[in-house]
Structure 1
Amino acid sequence: MSLNIVSYPTSNQDERSGKDIKIDTLIFHYTGMISNQAALERMTDPKAKVSAHWCIDENGTAYKIVPEHLRAWHAGKSWWRGRSNLNNISIGIEVVNPGHEFGYRPFTLQQMNSIVILCHQILKRHPINPRNIVGHSDVAPDRKKDPGELFDWRRLSNEGIGIWPRSIIEPRNSRILKIKDYGPEVKLCQKKLAKFGYGLYQDGIYGEKTQMVVMAFQRHYRQARVDGVLDHGTTAILDHLVNYTKDK
């Protein structure tokens, strides 16, 4: 299976700042616009000041927008595993989809096939830790929902791209946590989410910030239920992933 690549360059790019910058993060987005052409036009509009390295159309075509050695402007204010300014160390892939605002729908098989091929090529060029293959909502949970709960993270993990929870045993005695809860159980939840990679202050209060981080976690790792409630299933997945990645 080959990848159909079309060059679609933009001036919305600059040099990665710093010495010996290592590209070690891959961030997925959806375009959140009514068409592929609208997304491409926005990423090539100097006034918009946004771009990505790649854009995958619904027919599987891969548009090469920014060379990977340069910095694209896709993540904005972001945080993952103790680091901010993720544009500087990441590659951004936009996947064409209207998004939650314009009629969110499943990503096409052609898109997912092309994403698998492209990611394998990217990972040969840049050895990226599976923990650092994330969605925009993971690195900016208070602002973003993309690529969303319909993105096939399980397929990617099965292809050796990123991680996905397996062999989950739900705890029977854990407390279900939700907005306005507080106490040591909430602080432990916040600690686990922060340890996994999310930017979250550990104050023991289940406020809107914690709720949004839990929703981001669910969009990626528990897609059947995205409600911001840390129920038994979400807790089990979080515990599994924290334990699985502790030495990675």
Structure 2
Amino acid sequence: MGSTCLSACGAELSGTADTAAACWHPSPNFGPRRDGLTPSLIVIHYTAMHSASAALQRLCDPSVEVSAHYLIGAEGHCWQMVAEDQRAWHAGAGQWCGFDDINSRSIGIELDNRGDHPFAEPQMVTLERLMKDIMSRWSISAQGVIGHSDMAPGRKIDPGPRFDWPRLACQGLADLRSCDEGPMDPTFELFRRMAHRVGFTSPVEDEALLSAVRLRYRPWARGSLAADDFIPLGPSSSRS
């Protein structure tokens, strides 16, 4: 698929990749970051499409008006479609740590995956290498690495329950939350307060918030709010 580097899709847009790991394949779907913002977040997505080629075509289609900075195929090939200092159109409506316009604050990485199967090893290796490069270049902390579902609970579920967040956390590439005991009497009021403290600030219903936190930290969990749902959110300020 290396020939796609010279595709007619946005080929008139000059530029080079920000990282040696990527093939420059420009998309016309981008604009300047607003209010002088620079990247402080990395948002991870899955494509939910049948192939990387199909995703690449869509992310470069001006009629669709979506894009991301990077796309990583299952075999580990990486394309860059939007320069890191520009605003790609990948996150949409949502909020993280009380801030909106996530597009202006983030770098978006799409992973070739339908959401119903594990992420390929070559793809994860490329992702880790790319993230280290981006995080170093923009001084992005592990706390600044989030999933699409983190900032858009109830609207998005990617990168989904099959994504290996613990793998990234063990390398310092994602937030490793503390393992504190949950409260004896779990309530959504306390859950929302603790989730808000770690970044889940989108104004959504209780169940949407619970689903988003579970997707990130406990994707196997089912049923009603439980004490274990509080564990990855760190120590609570009050105990029942």
Range class of TM-score, shorter chain:
0.7 to 0.9
Q: Does 1:9 align with 2:11?
A: no
Q: Deviations over 1:123-182 (max 9, x none)?
A: 11111122221000000012100001111111111111111235x35447233xxxxxxx
Identical aligned pairs, as a percentage? 33
Q: Output the CA distance in 2 between the equivalents of 1:24 and 1:41.
A: 27
Partner of 1:246: none
User: What is the DSSP-based 3-state SS (H/G/I as helix, E as strand, rest coil) of the residue aligned with 1:27?
Assistant: strand
Partner of 2:55: 39
Cα RMSD between the aligned structures?
A: 2.0
Contact in 2 for aligned 1:200/1:209 (Cα 8 Å): no
Q: Does 1:145 align with 2:145?
A: no
Partner of 2:80: 64
- C-alpha deviation, 1:230, in angstroms: 2.1
Q: Does 1:216 align with 2:218?
A: no
Contact in 1 for aligned 2:44/2:146 (Cα 8 Å): yes
CA shift in 2, pair 1:113/1:234, >3 Å: same
Q: Output the CA distance in 1 between the equivalents of 2:202 and 2:185.
A: 21
Query: What does 1:71-86 correspond to in 2, within 5 Å?
Result: 71-86=87-102
Letter paired with 2:136: K
Work out the number of aligned pairs and report it.
219
CA shift in 2, pair 1:228/1:35, >3 Å: farther
The normalised TM-score by structure 2 is 0.85
Query: What does 1:66-215 correspond to in 2, within 5 Å?
Result: 66-99=82-115, 104-166=116-178, 168-171=179-182, 173-175=184-186, 185-201=187-203, 209-215=205-211
Gaps of 5+ in 2: 1-18
Gaps of 5+ in 1: 176-184, 202-207, 244-248
User: What is the DSSP-based 3-state SS (H/G/I as helix, E as strand, rest coil) of the residue aligned with 1:14?
Assistant: strand
